[in-house]
């Protein structure tokens, strides 16, 4: 009977491109945070980087990763010191001398004069380990154990010297034979010859291939080219040099003297010195001059210490990558392999998630690069941000006013010609053409199929939008003077404008909204301009100029109902003169007030329904606004800054619901 063919399954991390099982990144939270920072005055580029630094509710940010990198670096410098090899040599030397003394005491047949001479020689050994090793180089050991311990010193020095240049050599050469050492000498000779050929410009790929064929077992990372080999060797050699630079002069002198005893001769150190010289010449950009202060409790050998200095170099590079402070920086620059080595796999996962989020923000149509090279919010992002702001305003209104529904247009009105996706609670008629087209498009793109029938899913349904029969010509005037910024009203003002703009452009497309910002002077602003407007610290509240622009807007739409909404926290203190110059005076000049009232009268004659939204408790502003509202037959609303958006939207919706643009009652608190 044939045995079943069982295939063994092997599991490993997914490395071929993006992880297909990774959860999708949540752009909504990122967009909300970026939008809030933009409205507070940050550029989109800076706002995106700030969000990536802070992270989200369930996402580690760059700041936390950078903190862990810095903490890891502090641990390495605080935990170690650099005399590990010297201490190990001293321990081997002490064991050898102790074993020899014991042998001298036990050897009863030994001539007393020879015993006394040997004991005297041991008693008078120098305190310096290097000098003691050199003096005992010709000593005639009586104890076999003592001789073996002493020979370990030479073997240790050779293995440590090699481990500094080739990681793992200390362990690989433990109990190595003479043939193993001979193979290493041959490898070093061939390596130096190969580097000499590169320095002289006569190296060939065939030379490198021949070298790797003969000595590849000494390079487990398997470099594919000579340049890759040089990069790895130079990084290790530079770390070894930084470790040496960090030692005291006494420690360097001791190690230099001991190194001449490596494997019993100076040949190894001569070959390594030649290697270091070539690497310095071929890779001068490596950090050969750095140093660290390390005075912790744990001594490091030469090889392990070099590894620590490589770790420190990794951490310094990661700190720079995570800081994202250099020109053209991207999160794709972060070395995930180095991050995993230093902080563990979880940190690499966090960084990879941030990389995916940054790419998604750049590639999803949320941010775009403008002609000036700076990132900007796209219209798609503005719509998403506006919907989020409008949703927040709706929640406020629902809680405080019994449920204004800002999502739906008036079902009893006339079709506006626009459609939208059906949502629970909609009573508008279906747009059959759009609905069937969506179903056919989904089917053609590989969606669920049925036998010759068109299956309509909920996501396919679109309804006809309707609008109230009365069209409005709306002017929202927002104060952009320095007091708005000083009193913390800047962001609420922007959120209000964005919420109203979103509502009008998505639900009341028959209305025509114009946004006018007025500080020392006034100007008509696109929503992108207003949302990205930096705080202005100039004095002046030019209501006259703003009303002049609003009246111009009203005259362009003679058949629409004019609606004037004014948001301000200060008395008019500037006006536009005949020559176009701006006049400013405080307290308000009578002419400034008169010109503002004249333009308000003009709006009233055009039929404008006026609502003032007075912020703050300035009694002078309160008297003036009340008088102007009475003169125009308008109303005054006095909301808190956080409720400004709900007040403006509520006034606009209340006007539409009642069929007359009257808004809230006079002097109504929100």
Question: What is the full DSSP assignment across 523-590?
Answer: EEE-HHHHHTPPPP------HHHHHHHHHHHHHT-TTSEEEEEEEESS---EEE-TTSPEEE-SSPPH
Q: How confident is the model at residue 423 (pLDDT cuts 50, 70, 90)?
A: low
| pLDDT score of 449 | 57
Q: Which distant-in-sequence residues (6+ apart) come within 8 Å of 441 by Cβ?
A: none
Whether 243 has a pLDDT exceeding 60, the answer reads: yes
Q: How confident is the model at residue 403 (pLDDT cuts 50, 70, 90)?
A: very low
Mean pLDDT, to the nearest integer, of 144-158?
A: 91
| pLDDT score of 404 | 39
| pLDDT score of 398 | 66
| pLDDT score of 402 | 41
| pLDDT score of 10 | 58
| pLDDT score of 413 | 52
| pLDDT score of 87 | 94
Higher pLDDT, 71 or 112: 71
**pLDDT tens digits for range 464-497:** 776 544 588 999 999 999 888 888 888 889 889 9
| pLDDT score of 408 | 42
User: In sequence order, what DSSP letters do the residues of 200-244 get, joined into one string?
Assistant: TT---HHHHHHHHHHHGGG-TT--SSHHHHHHHHHHHHHHHHHHH
Tokens of 347: 């940190």
Mean pLDDT, to the nearest integer, of 298-302?
A: 92
Report the C-alpha dihedral over residues 632, 638, 643, 644, rounded to 10 degrees: 40
| pLDDT score of 97 | 94
Higher pLDDT, 169 or 551: 551
Mean pLDDT, to the nearest integer, of 634-663?
A: 75
Q: Which long-range contacts (CB under 8 A, 24 or more apart) does 271-275 make?
A: 271/185, 271/188, 271/189, 271/192, 272/161, 272/162, 272/165, 272/188, 274/192, 275/165, 275/188, 275/191, 275/192, 275/195, 275/233, 275/237
**pLDDT tens digits for range 163-174:** 999 988 888 888
Bond prior to 587 in cis (omega within 30° of 0): yes
Size of the chain in residues? 670
Whether 224 has a pLDDT exceeding 60, the answer reads: yes
Buried-state track 580-603, b at ≥16 Cβ within 10 A, e below 16? eebbbeeebbeebbebbbebbebb
Each domain of the chain, given as residue ranges in start order, spans 27-79+314-377, 83-293, 410-467, 470-669
Higher pLDDT, 34 or 286: 286
| pLDDT score of 583 | 94
**pLDDT tens digits for range 338-395:** 999 999 999 998 888 888 888 887 776 677 766 666 667 777 777 777 787 787 787 7
Whether 280 has a pLDDT exceeding 90, the answer reads: yes
Rounded-to-integer distance, Cα 609 and Cα 563, Å: 5
**pLDDT tens digits for range 314-325:** 999 999 999 888
Tokens of 309: 């200095």
Whether 451 has a pLDDT exceeding 80, the answer reads: no
Backbone torsions φ then ψ of 263, nearest 5 degrees = 55, 20
Whether 663 has a pLDDT exceeding 50, the answer reads: no
Secondary structure (3-state) at 413: coil
Whether 15 has a pLDDT exceeding 60, the answer reads: no
Whether 401 has a pLDDT exceeding 50, the answer reads: no
- From residue 595, alpha-carbon distances to 376, 460, 570, 591, 599 in Å are 38, 55, 16, 6, 6
Mean pLDDT, to the nearest integer, of 239-261?
A: 92
Side-chain half-sphere exposure of 8, counting CA atoms within 13 A? 1
Rounded-to-integer distance, Cα 396 and Cα 381, Å: 23
Whole-number percent of the chain with pLDDT over 70: 86
Provide the terminal-to-terminal Cα distance of the chain, rounded to the nearest Å: 86
| pLDDT score of 295 | 87
Maximum Cα interatomic distance, the chain, rounded to a whole number of Å? 132
> Between 178-199 and 267-282, two packed helices, what is the crossing angle to 10 degrees?
30
Phi-psi region of 270 (alpha: psi -120 to 50; beta: other; left: phi over 0): alpha
> Between 144-165 and 84-106, two packed helices, what is the crossing angle to 10 degrees?
170
Mean pLDDT, to the nearest integer, of 22-37?
A: 73
**pLDDT tens digits for range 428-443:** 778 888 888 888 887 7
Q: Is the Cβ–Cβ distance between 102 and 122 less than 8 Å?
A: no
Among candidate residues 426, 456, 452, 431, the one with its CA nearest the CA of residue 441 = 456
Q: Is the Cβ–Cβ distance between 259 and 269 less than 8 Å?
A: yes
- The structural architecture, per CATH, of the domain 470-669 is 3-Layer(aba) Sandwich (3.40)
Secondary structure (3-state) at 377: strand
Mean pLDDT, to the nearest integer, of 204-225?
A: 91
Number of neighbouring beta carbons within 10 Å of residue 552? 13
Rounded-to-integer distance, Cα 641 and Cα 549, Å: 25
Mean pLDDT, to the nearest integer, of 400-423?
A: 54
Whether 426 has a pLDDT exceeding 80, the answer reads: no
Mean pLDDT, to the nearest integer, of 143-156?
A: 92
- Least confident residue range of 47-56, 368-377, 428-437, 502-511: 368-377
Side-chain half-sphere exposure of 522, counting CA atoms within 13 A? 30
Average confidence score pLDDT of the chain:
84
Higher pLDDT, 274 or 12: 274
């Amino acid at each position: 009977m044939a045995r079943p063919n069982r295939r063994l399954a092997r599991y490993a991390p997914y490395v071929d491109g993006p992880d297909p099982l990774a959860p999708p990144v949540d752009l909504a939270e990122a967009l909300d945070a970026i939008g809030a920072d933009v409205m507070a005055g940050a550029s989109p580029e800076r706002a995106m980087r700030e969000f990536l630094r802070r992270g989200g509710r369930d996402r580690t940010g760059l700041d936390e990763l950078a903190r862990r990198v810095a903490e890891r670096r502090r641990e390495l410098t605080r935990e170690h010191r650099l005399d590990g090899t010297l201490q190990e040599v001293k321990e081997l030397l002490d064991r050898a001398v102790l074993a020899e003394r014991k042998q001298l005491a036990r050897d009863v047949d030994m001539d007393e004069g020879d015993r006394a001479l040997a004991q005297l020689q041991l008693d008078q050994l120098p305190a310096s380990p290097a000098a003691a090793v050199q003096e005992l180089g010709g000593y005639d050991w009586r104890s076999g154990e003592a001789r073996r311990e002493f020979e370990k010193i030479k073997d240790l020095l050779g293995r440590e010297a090699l481990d500094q240049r080739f990681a793992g050599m200390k362990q690989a050469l433990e109990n190595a034979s003479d043939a193993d050492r001979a193979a290493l000498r041959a490898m070093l000779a061939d390596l130096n010859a190969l580097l000499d050929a590169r320095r002289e410009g006569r190296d060939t790929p065939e030379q490198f291939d021949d070298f790797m064929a003969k000595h590849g077992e000494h390079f487990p990372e398997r470099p594919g080219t000579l340049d890759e080999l040089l990069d790895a060797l130079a990084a290790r050699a530079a770390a070894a040099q930084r470790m040496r630079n960090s030692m005291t002069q006494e420690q360097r002198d001791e190690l230099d003297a001991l190194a001449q005893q490596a494997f019993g001769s100076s040949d190894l150190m001569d070959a390594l010195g030649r290697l270091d010289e070539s690497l310095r010449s071929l890779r001068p950009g490596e950090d050969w001059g750095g140093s660290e202060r390390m005075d912790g409790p744990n001594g490091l050998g030469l090889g392990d210490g070099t590894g620590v200095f490589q770790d420190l170099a990794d951490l310094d590079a990661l700190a720079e990558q995570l800081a994202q402070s250099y020109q053209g920086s991207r999160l794709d620059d972060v070395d995930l392999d180095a991050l995993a080595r230093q902080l563990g796999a979880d940190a690499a996962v966090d960084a990879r998630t941030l990389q995916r989020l940054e790419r998604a923000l750049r590639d999803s149509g949320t941010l775009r690069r403008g002609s000036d090279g700076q990132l900007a919010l796209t219209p798609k992002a503005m719509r998403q941000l506006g919907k989020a702001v409008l949703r927040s305003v709706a929640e406020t209104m629902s809680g405080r006013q019994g449920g204004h529904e800002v999502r739906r247009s008036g079902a009893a009105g006339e079709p506006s010609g626009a459609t939208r996706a059906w949502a629970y609670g909609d009573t508008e008629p279906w747009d059959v053409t759009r609905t069937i087209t969506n179903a056919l498009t989904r089917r053609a793109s590989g969606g669920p199929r049925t036998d010759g029938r068109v299956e309509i899913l909920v996501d396919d349904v679109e309804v006809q939008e309707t609008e109230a029969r009365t069209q409005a010509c709306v002017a929202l005037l927002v104060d952009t003077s320095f007091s708005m910024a000083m009193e913390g009203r800047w962001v609420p003002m922007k959120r209000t404008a964005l919420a109203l703009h979103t509502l009008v452009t998505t639900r009341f497309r028959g209305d025509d909204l114009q946004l006018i910002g007025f500080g020392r002077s006034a100007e008509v602003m696109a929503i992108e301009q207003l949302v990205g407007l930096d705080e202005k610290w100039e004095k002046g509240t030019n209501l006259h100029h703003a009303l002049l622009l609003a009246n111009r807007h009203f005259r362009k739409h003679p058949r629409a109902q004019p609606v004037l909404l004014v948001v301000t926290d200060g008395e008019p203190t500037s006006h536009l003169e005949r020559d176009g110059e701006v006049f400013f005076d405080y307290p308000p000049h009578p002419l400034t007030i008169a010109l503002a009232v004249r333009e308000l009268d003009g709006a009233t004659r055009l039929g404008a329904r006026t609502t003032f939204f007075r912020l703050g408790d300035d009694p002078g502003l309160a008297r003036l606004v009340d008088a102007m509202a009475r003169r125009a037959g308008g109303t005054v609303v006095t909301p808190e800054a956080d409720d400004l958006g709900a007040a403006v939207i509520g006034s606009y919706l209340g006007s539409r619901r009642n069929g007359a643009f009257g808004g809230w009652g006079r002097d109504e608190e929100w």
